Amino acid sequence: KNVNIKHFGNDELILQNVSLNIDYGMKIGIMGTSGSGKTTLLNNIIGFMKPIEGKILVDDIVLNNDLIENWQKLISYVPQNVVLFDKSLLENITLSFDKNLNCSELERYENAISYAQLKKLREKLDKSGEFVGEMGSKVSRGEAQRIGIARAIYMNSKILILDESTNFLDEKTEKDFLDIIKNYMKNTTVLFVSHKAKSLELCDEIYKIENKKIERIK
């Protein structure tokens, strides 16, 4: 609500007097040119940054230092470049390195593999006995993004934030994933940043960031 945002050590505002209301379960698209402030807006919503003026509110409660940790537990964030470990596919998706998965966790893992279309990659890695490599060096950029998406699906969070996180996917894979968001994640609030207008067609509302302002265009 009425937020002014700038980077630390920089006097120039990135976003000025911006207000945005997001209802639970909505799919929100955000567009804008490179450097317009898309990721900066997400960082303030998540709590990685704070506005210099204005408020971030959750159910009319101001998001302060005491609440940020609990707020962030509700969020799965998938950036453009996903951090991967030189571990198995299962470990990279579940982030479980030292325990066996229970039945519920295994079911979530299988769903994540299916929804992110990683069955062929799993078969290949299982057959070769390889890990994904340091920072995903043994998988393609598209596969790395799908692992990040699978990780978010596995976490089953209330809020899913996708920051240019499908731009390395081929058109069919991206479409199939977006169909899953639309049809099977109806109770998940999704914020989807993309430079591709077609990718945002599933969104209930689309906003464009330009000249430090945010404007609804759908």
Residue 11's pLDDT is 85
Residue 124's pLDDT is 93
DSSP H helical ranges for 96-216: 103-115, 119-128, 141-155, 171-184
**Identity (one letter) of the amino acid at 38?**
K
Residue 99's pLDDT is 67
Residue 181's pLDDT is 87
Residue pair 181/175 in contact by the 8 Å Cβ criterion: no
Of 11-25, 38-52, 55-69, 96-110, the least confident: 96-110
User: What does the block give as tokens for 113?
Assistant: 């593999």
- Intra-chain end-to-end CA distance of the chain, in Å: 20
180 pLDDT more than 90: no
Count how many Cα atoms sit within 13 Å of the Cα of residue 156 in the half-sphere of its side chain: 10
Q: Look up the pTM and report it.
A: 0.90
